[in-house]
Amino acid sequence: MHLAQTERAALCDLLELTGPDAPTLCEGWTTHDLAAHLWVRETDPLGAPGIIAKPLASLTERRMEEAKQRWSYPELVARIRRGPAPLSLFALPGLDEGANALEFFVHHEDVRRAGEAPLAPRDLPAETEDWMWRRLQLLARAFFRRTEVGVVLERSGAGSEDDERPATIRAAGGSQTVTLVGRPSELILYGQGRGTHADVLAVGEPEALQSLGRADLGL
């Protein structure tokens, strides 16, 4: 499977179609801002650390603006489409799929589901959903680490015949528990802070649901 490559290509196709001023699910960002973020993350060693390290966030924002000024929007999208530069860490063999597959999937949905006429969730192959479920087993606790209630993820939909992993993941502990039911791809979007746009059923006491709704989710 080459999810990172297919999602990169599909996202770039959509960025070209929507143009630089389309909305995204990333608060305050247009598609031009999102393209600059993707380029800085993958190619700019000076600006990328601020994506994770909050004290450096202003530097990242400045480097994003510089990228937008340096290249036109179509050229910036074309550079993202070509993939990481040879000296980028993301160009190391095997790193692209592990580090970029979810990044490009989530941001692809950030564009697909934004605006007044959002597109419906995609029907992804069972093998892709299996892969995402495995990633959730690794990342769920990190996604939900700042919640004040317990969280259980419950997979819906059929996986491939070869997938025999448990259908639930305990992502967080607590005296009250919310169960989130959905396909792995939708649960990933929820865990990355896109809960209001994810096709996920949340089951729990009203107070617990409200608490989870206020939580700062994501890596």
End position of a domain, from candidates 62, 90, 112: 112
| Whether residue 131 sits in one domain with residue 101 | no
3-state secondary structure of 37: helix
Give the pLDDT score at 67: 95
If asked whether residues 75 and 160 sit together in one domain, one would say: no
User: pTM for the full model?
Assistant: 0.92
Q: Which residue has the tokens 């592990």?
A: 98
Phi, psi of 174 (to 5 degrees): 175, 165
Note whether residue 121 is domain-resident. Answer: no
Domain boundary among 84, 112, 140: 112
- For the chain, the domain total comes to 2
Task: Report if residue 77 sits inside a domain.
Answer: yes
- Residue 206: C-alpha distances to residues 105, 177, 201, 210 (Å): 31, 11, 14, 6
- Residue 158 in any domain: the answer is yes
Provide the CATH number for the domain around residue 136: 3.30.1050
pLDDT at residue 163 in the model: 58
One domain for residues 39 and 132: no
- Confirm whether 80 is domain-assigned: yes
Distance of alpha carbon 38 from alpha carbon 67, whole angstroms: 11
Hunting for tokens 């959903």 — which residue is that? 129
Whether residues 73 and 164 fall in one domain: no
**7 with 107, same domain?**
yes
pLDDT at 41: 93
Q: Which residues of the chain have pLDDT under 70?
A: 1, 158-165
Q: Does residue 119 belong to any structural domain of this protein? A: no
Confidence at residue 27, expressed as pLDDT on a 0 to 100 scale = 93
Domain that holds residue 25: 3-112
Whether 76 and 160 share a structural domain: no
Looking at residue 47, what is its pLDDT? 84
The per-residue pLDDT for 196 is 95
**131 and 103 housed in the same domain:** no
The reported pLDDT for the residue numbered 159 is 59
Which residue, 79, 112, 145, sits at the end of a domain? 112
Q: Are residues 11 and 106 in the same domain?
A: yes
Asked if 17 and 88 sit in the same domain, the reply is: yes
58 falls within a domain: yes
Does residue 88 share a domain with residue 26? yes
